[in-house]
């Protein structure tokens, strides 16, 4: 297995863009990535696309060549990967694996989702397809309901409070307010979060991530080629994808995502680092409780301590280990198929020192965690400077 680096990034803003279609968003992210890396489209030896539900959201299938040819990428393998909200994290993993194995020297990985052209009820219905449609979803569950049940159990086992959940949202909105690419750039308060419209008890609308349009793209290259490119290369030091049951009620415990814990363990081992070494992270805060679980499952704090940890300020910019300096899915936005690659872009920006007023001083080692469904797919990536 040979070392691999990220040599370029490109993102569209995240938001609601009624005038933009799925392909134009994806192509914009690819072109920005080519520009950022100094690559030309014909240098890409393969194209991987993360997309959850283009066929349902916009009626288009066969998306990988549909996007690639429009972006100027021709004749090479173009493959779409679907793993719910971890679609582009998984696409990134498979692209990394192919370069690490020596099959390709240079590949492009993009993620895209166009969600806002559908009604909220229809969006919820499409997203529910990432759960067990014959089981919990048939009984009337939704993803907010599944994470609400996780939150209730976490509160019961560990004493986590609604205020601690709200503090995750307040922090991520604070970060996102400083991110020009974020969907919802506004500060909120704990009081406002607690008083928000109840979606599924105990989660209010402020505990839930956003329904967004957007795309992101990265270029990966074998490290011995990485210096040929314009941007400062960032090494993929450790990466793992793991899986578990799709149905939440089939998991032994719902207050741990075992797939995340295992992916973290494997990625730490590959990188030769410990959880304590990670300086900052982009974690999959599809709901506030999910960020709390991730900080525990990745070993930032012991199981059960994620709530007090979120409330301590340690995970805010200026704290000991900033989490979601981009604003996270909560404020930056969550075009589900784009999220995994966008997280990689955000970690890379920090490592290159390009994060503007959100820059973490001395950033050398960061982590991205992408989650599919209620823990059925997990991808953990550790990135660092050489």
Partner 1 sequence: MTGTVYTETTIYSPPEAFAGEAPYQLAMIHLDSGTRLTARIHGDPVRIGDRVALAEVRNSIHYFRKANLEVSHQHDPPRDRDRL
* Residue numbers annotated as active site: 85, 334
Task: Pick out residues in 254-293 that bind partner 1 (CB under 8 A).
Answer: 254
Q: How far is the CB of 58 from partner 1 (least distance, A)?
A: 19
DSSP assignments along 245-290, one per residue: -SSGGGSS-SSS-HHHHHHHHHHHHHHT--GGG--EEE---SBHHH
**Residue partners of 135: CB distance under 8 A and separation at least 6:** 247, 249
Task: Pick out residues in 88-127 that bind partner 1 (CB under 8 A).
Answer: 121-122, 124-125
Distances (CA, A) of 78 to 38, 56, 220, 233: 21, 20, 15, 24
Q: Is 135 in the site for partner 1 (CB under 8 A)?
A: yes
* Residue located via tokens 């920006």: 349
CB nearer partner 1, residue 201 or residue 386: 201
CA distance 209 to 5: 30
CA distance 117 to 302: 41
The site for partner 1, by CB under 8 A, has a size of 36
> Which of 201, 224, 354, 386 touches partner 1 by CB under 8 A?
201
N- to C-terminal Cα separation, the chain: 17
Task: Pick out residues in 46-85 that bind partner 1 (CB under 8 A).
Answer: none
> Which of 27, 63, 141, 338 touches partner 1 by CB under 8 A?
141
Q: Is 128 in the site for partner 1 (CB under 8 A)?
A: yes
CA distance 339 to 115: 13
Q: Is 250 in the site for partner 1 (CB under 8 A)?
A: yes
Q: Is 249 in the site for partner 1 (CB under 8 A)?
A: yes
State the Cα angle at 263 between 258 and 264, rounded to 5°.
100
CB nearer partner 1, residue 189 or residue 253: 253
Q: Is 153 in the site for partner 1 (CB under 8 A)?
A: yes
State the Cα angle at 11 between 89 and 175, rounded to 5°.
85
Q: How far is the CB of 196 from partner 1 (least distance, A)?
A: 11
Question: Which span sits near partner 1 by CB under 8 A: 110-118, 140-148, 274-282, 343-351?
Answer: 140-148
Q: How far is the CB of 257 from partner 1 (least distance, A)?
A: 15
Task: Pick out residues in 295-324 that bind partner 1 (CB under 8 A).
Answer: 304
Q: Is 144 in the site for partner 1 (CB under 8 A)?
A: yes
- The beta strands (E) that lie in 82-127 are given as 106-114
Question: Which span sits near partner 1 by CB under 8 A: 92-100, 194-202, 227-235, 282-290?
Answer: 194-202
CB 220, CB 106: distance < 8 Å: yes
- Residue 123: what are its φ and ψ, rounded to 5°? -60, -45
CB nearer partner 1, residue 155 or residue 281: 155
> Which of 199, 237, 355, 383 touches partner 1 by CB under 8 A?
199
Question: Tokens at residue 98, please?
Answer: 């192919």
Give the CA radius of gyration of the chain: 19
Question: Which span sits near partner 1 by CB under 8 A: 193-201, 323-331, 344-352, 355-363?
Answer: 193-201
| Nearest one of 218, 224, 215, 219 to 43, comparing CA atoms | 219
Classified as helix, coil or strand, 114 is: strand
CB nearer partner 1, residue 149 or residue 215: 149
Is it true that the peptide bond before 202 is cis, omega within 30 degrees of 0? yes
Question: Which span sits near partner 1 by CB under 8 A: 181-189, 199-207, 276-284, 317-325?
Answer: 199-207
> Which of 227, 253, 274, 356 touches partner 1 by CB under 8 A?
253
Question: Which span sits near partner 1 by CB under 8 A: 84-92, 249-257, 337-345, 357-365?
Answer: 249-257
Binding site for partner 1 (CB under 8 A): 121-122, 124-125, 128, 135-142, 144-145, 148-150, 152-153, 156-157, 197-202, 247-250, 252-254, 304
């Amino acid at each position: 297995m040979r070392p691999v680096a990220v040599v370029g990034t490109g993102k569209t803003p995240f938001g609601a863009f009624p005038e933009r279609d799925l392909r134009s968003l994806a192509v914009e992210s690819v072109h920005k990535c080519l520009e950022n890396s100094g690559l030309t489209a014909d240098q890409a030896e393969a194209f991987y696309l993360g997309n959850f539900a283009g066929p349902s959201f916009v009626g288009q299938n066969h998306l990988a060549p549909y996007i690639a040819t429009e972006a100027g990428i021709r004749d090479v393998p173009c493959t779409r990967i679907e793993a719910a909200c971890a679609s582009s994290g998984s696409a990134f993993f498979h692209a990394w694996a192919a370069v690490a194995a020596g099959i390709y020297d240079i590949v492009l990985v993009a993620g895209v989702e166009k969600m806002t052209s559908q009604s909220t009820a229809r969006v919820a219905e499409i997203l529910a397809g990432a759960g067990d449609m014959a089981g919990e979803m048939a009984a009337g569950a939704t993803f907010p309901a599944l994470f609400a049940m996780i939150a209730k159990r976490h509160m019961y086992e560990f004493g986590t409070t609604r205020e601690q959940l709200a503090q995750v949202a307040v922090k991520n909105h604070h970060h996102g307010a400083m991110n020009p690419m974020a969907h919802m750039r506004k500060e909120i308060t704990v009081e406002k979060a607690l008083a928000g419209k109840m979606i599924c008890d105990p989660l209010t609308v402020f505990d839930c991530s956003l329904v967004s349009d957007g795309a992101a793209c990265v270029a990966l290259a074998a490290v011995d080629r990485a210096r040929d490119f314009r941007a400062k290369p960032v090494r993929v030091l450790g990466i793992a994808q793991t899986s578990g049951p799709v149905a939440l009620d089939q998991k032994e415990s719902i207050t741990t995502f075992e797939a995340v814990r295992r992916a973290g363990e494997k990625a730490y081992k590959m990188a030769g680092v410990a959880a304590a070494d990670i300086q900052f992270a982009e974690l999959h805060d599809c709901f506030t409780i999910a960020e709390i679980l991730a900080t525990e499952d990745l070993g930032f704090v012991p199981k059960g301590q994620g709530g007090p940890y979120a409330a301590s300020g340690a995970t805010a910019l200026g704290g000991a280990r900033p989490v979601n300096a981009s604003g996270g899915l909560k404020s930056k936005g969550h075009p589900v198929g784009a999220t995994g690659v966008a997280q990689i872009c955000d970690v890379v920006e920090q490592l290159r020192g390009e994060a503007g007023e959100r820059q973490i001083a001395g950033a050398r080692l960061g982590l991205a965690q992408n989650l599919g469904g209620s823990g059925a797919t997990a991808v953990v990536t550790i990135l660092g400077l050489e």
